Amino acid sequence: MSEIDSYLKNHESLLYTYHITPEIKRIADKYGFLEYMVERYLEFLGDQTEDFLSSCSLPLTKSIRCNSLKVNCGELEKRLADRGFSLTKIWWSRFGYRVEKSPPRPSLGATVEYMKGFYYIQGEASMIPPEVLSPREGELVLDMASSPGGKTTHMAQLMNNRGTIVAVEKNPSRLRKIKSNISRLGVSNVVLLSMSGEEVSRLGMEFDRILLDAPCSGEGLIPLDPSRKTKTAPEDLKNFQRTQLTLLVSGFRVLRRGGFMVYSTCSIAPEEDEVIVDFAVKYLGMKVERIHGIPGERGLTSFKGISFSPELSGCIRTYPHLQYTEGFFICLLKKE
Amino acid sequence: MRKVRTEQFSRALHEYGCDRFPANFELYEIGDIIYGTMGDPNILEGIMRRDVKVEMIGLPLLLRRGRKLVPLLALGDYMAKSCSHRVRLPDRIIEKILYGRTVTVKETYNFRKGLLIDGHSDFVAFITLRSRKKGTEIIPDLDIGWYLRAGG
């Protein structure tokens, strides 16, 4: 049995046994969520659970990332203001803006500025992983699950188009979207490969930094897609966990010593977040670098009777009822 | 996939009034598209030696269509800065072009292929110009509205 198999087996009974009480049934019914999901929320959100559940029915403020590769951000603010958009700068982000007010026409995705590649429409929390990874000019960076290219192009922007980003994506239907975004945004330092992130060792390279924005259940995206309230079964979570751990190990193997990896998901499920990072710490010997200067709640250090490494409090989680963003998990790891 | 030299393409861009290749990129040909990148050449050579399917390297700049080379949108930004066949039109006319419509303007031009730019001097479209009795017909060949219509 592989290390991943035994790790998953060891945690299975604690993670996937649920005690559904009448109160849990009542809350699940009230907000339209699956009962097992609510049981977990009560465990890690406690008395904030209903705040969270009700916030999932409210729309999120839209946000954009100004593309400094093509336009001066002050100039973009002015041009969009002339069209009736009102932007406020996201204080912790180098290029992010909240769209506080929009005109009836054009829509945010149909302006001439959008077509020119002056901005990318991107959830506020999804701007966090590239900012935390902070790739620098001249570095060799791996993006292990690139679609649809928002974080890839964000990293290229942070690198000022210098250095190389190797972006991998297996799904042919997703490649078209990434290619279009790379072209529109004027990103010239990305090599896009049609391959799975699990195969990256075939490249025979060592990377300075790696972004593993892992495929996940999307449990943080419920405000954007209410169908996710009832979409994911525990069995699906198990499948995601296996994929996430496999990708993590693949990424670890091609990360240079002293290099950094960001592990992130658009899920608030601890099964896909802390459980995966705890494997990185305990089995791969990676170190969690505490994230500063980004709004978020601290990573969990225990869940359903499982104690995680105390370092995991250095990771961050975002929630719609607290940060007013999509739910996200972000952790910065170092290979010692 | 193979590395190619900019000199091969200068002629194709001459009809747009470009006297040299307008961007400082390393060029690679994959299938029928020529890509340009500022990525590290050593790393790129390393990837080329591996048995992996490279989908793109940097920006798609030119498309081979039979024996002809057609510039792509990403190259338009660079061409609009350094090539001479520029046509500047007001934003209300530009909007029509972005809906794929042909327009006629009263001005005349002494070239057949041009780069349409807006009031901010930003690239908007590759165009064909045809002389008409009362001016010039402007036909969009490829415009940035493509990103909405077909970009995925």
* Secondary structure element (H or E) that encloses residue A212, with its range: strand A207-213
DSSP calls for A226-268: GGGGTT--HHHHHHHHHHHHHHHHHHHHHEEEEEEEEEEES--
Q: Which of B54, B120, B147 sits opposite A193 (nearest CB)?
A: B54
Q: Please count the CA atoms within 13 angstroms of the CA of B21 that sit on its side-chain side.
A: 16
Q: With contact defined as beta carbons under 8 Å apart, do B115 and B16 qualify? A: yes
Beta bridge partner(s), residue A333: A261, A288
Which pTM does this prediction carry? 0.96
Question: Distance of CA A134 to CAs A127, A158, A250, A292, Å?
Answer: 11, 7, 21, 13
- ipTM for the complex? 0.95
Residue A40 reports pLDDT greater than 90? yes
Q: What is the CA radius of gyration of chain A?
A: 20
Of B39, B118, B147, the CB nearest to A184: B147
Give catalytic residue positions of A: 266
Q: Give CA–CA dist B141/B152, Å, rounded.
A: 19
List Cβ neighbours of B5 (8 Å cut-off, separation of 6 or more): B27
Is A188's CB within 8 Å of B47's CB?
Answer: no
Q: How far A125 CA sits from the closest chain B CA (Å)?
A: 23
> How far is it, in rounded angstroms, from Cα A27 to Cα A38?
7
Which residue on chain A is closest to B150 by alpha carbon?
A180
Please give the Cα distance from B6 to A334 (Å, whole number): 41
Q: Which two tokens stand for residue B118?
A: 């807006």
Question: Omega of the bond prior to A310 within 30 degrees of 0, cis?
Answer: no
CB < 8 Å to A112, chain B: 91, 94-95, 98, 118, 124, 144
| 8 Å CB contact between B13 and B22 | yes
Give alpha helix (H) positions in chain A.
3-15, 22-31, 35-45, 49-55, 73-82, 112-115, 128-133, 150-158, 172-184, 234-254, 274-282
d(CA B105, CA B115): 15
Q: Which pLDDT score is estimated for B12?
A: 82
CB contact under 8 A, B148 and A109: yes
Per-residue pLDDT of chain B (152 residues; tens, 9 = 90+): 788 887 778 778 999 999 988 888 999 999 999 999 988 888 998 998 898 999 999 999 999 998 889 999 999 999 999 999 999 999 999 999 998 899 999 999 999 999 999 999 999 999 999 999 989 999 999 999 999 988 76
What is the spatial distance between Cα A317 and Cα A265, in angstroms, rounded to a whole number?
10
Mutate to test the interface with B, among A183, A200, A208 (most CBs of B within 10 A): A183
Nearest to B47 among A169, A176, A203 (CB): A203
What does the DSSP assignment read for B1-70?
-EEE-THHHHHHHHTTT-SS-SS--EEEEETTEEEEE-S-HHHHHHHHHSS--EEEESEEEEEEETTEEE
Mean pLDDT of chain A: 97
